[in-house]
């Protein structure tokens, strides 16, 4: 089995799982939490996060499938698997934090990330673990994207040589 096809299948499975988890939101949209965004902040609910995860995972699966199928050179299998592991860990940690917050709004001002949650009004004090999970998830997701970009650049350079 090709490692590139394995990565495509893993991302396809992650997209399928995310679509199943997003299905209640798609079938029964509610008006209590909306996706909103303006120049300073954007908000997301846990179900909407799964919709985004499904779409991004499907795009990665199609990319790895196309490279394995039609490219004369294959992508680096270890970077591909590192991309999947980092991305899946980041998605898992961010979804844990989002579920613990009950949905959240993120604002990036300067070099600081501000988080407003739907449970802030009712909760006297937030536990520090959701913020730690959110930070680790964002770092892991960033690391996965860097692995994808480096793999893409290396594969492109091998094809063009």
pLDDT in the model for residue 136: 94
Q: Which of 58, 67, 56 is nearest to 94 (CA)?
A: 56
For residue 76, the surrounding DSSP H or E stretch is none
Q: Is there a contact between 116 and 55 (Cβ–Cβ < 8 Å)?
A: no
pLDDT in the model for residue 130: 82
Residue ranges of E strands in 5-150: 36-37, 41-44, 104-109, 112-117
**d(C-alpha 94, C-alpha 113), whole Å:** 14
Residue ranges of E strands in the chain: 36-37, 41-44, 104-109, 112-117
For residue 87, the surrounding DSSP H or E stretch is helix 77-101
70 CB-side CA count, 13 A: 5
User: Whole-model pTM?
Assistant: 0.76
pLDDT in the model for residue 42: 58
How many domains are contained in the chain? 1
- The per-residue pLDDT for range 76-125, each reduced to its tens digit, is 888 999 999 999 999 999 888 877 776 666 665 666 666 666 555 555 55
Domain limits at 146?
A: 3-160
Q: Which of 29, 20, 27, 97 is nearest to 57 (CA)?
A: 20
SS3 call for 45 = coil
First and final C-alpha spacing in the chain: 26
Residue of 28 and 59 predicted with greater confidence = 59
pLDDT at residue 161 above 70?
yes
Burial class (CB in 10 A: 0-12, 13-18, 19+), 20: exposed
Residue of 23 and 46 predicted with greater confidence = 23
- The per-residue pLDDT for range 31-67, each reduced to its tens digit, is 444 445 555 555 666 677 788 889 999 999 999 998 8
């Amino acid at each position: 089995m090709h490692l590139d096809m394995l990565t495509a299948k893993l991302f396809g499975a992650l997209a399928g799982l995310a679509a199943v988890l997003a299905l209640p939101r798609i079938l029964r949209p509610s008006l209590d939490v909306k996706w909103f965004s303006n120049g300073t902040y954007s908000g997301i609910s846990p179900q909407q996060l799964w919709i985004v995860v499904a779409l991004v995972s499907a795009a990665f699966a199609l990319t790895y499938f196309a490279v394995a199928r039609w490219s004369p050179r294959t992508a680096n299998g270890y970077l591909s698997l590192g991309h999947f592991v980092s991305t899946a860990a980041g998605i898992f940690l961010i979804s844990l934090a989002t579920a613990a917050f009950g949905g959240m709004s993120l604002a990036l001002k300067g070099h600081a990330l501000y988080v407003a949650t739907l449970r802030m009004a009712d909760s006297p004090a937030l536990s520090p673990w959701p913020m730690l999970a959110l930070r680790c998830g964002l770092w892991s997701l960033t690391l996965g994207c860097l692995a994808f970009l480096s793999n893409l650049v290396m594969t492109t350079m091998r094809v063009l040589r």
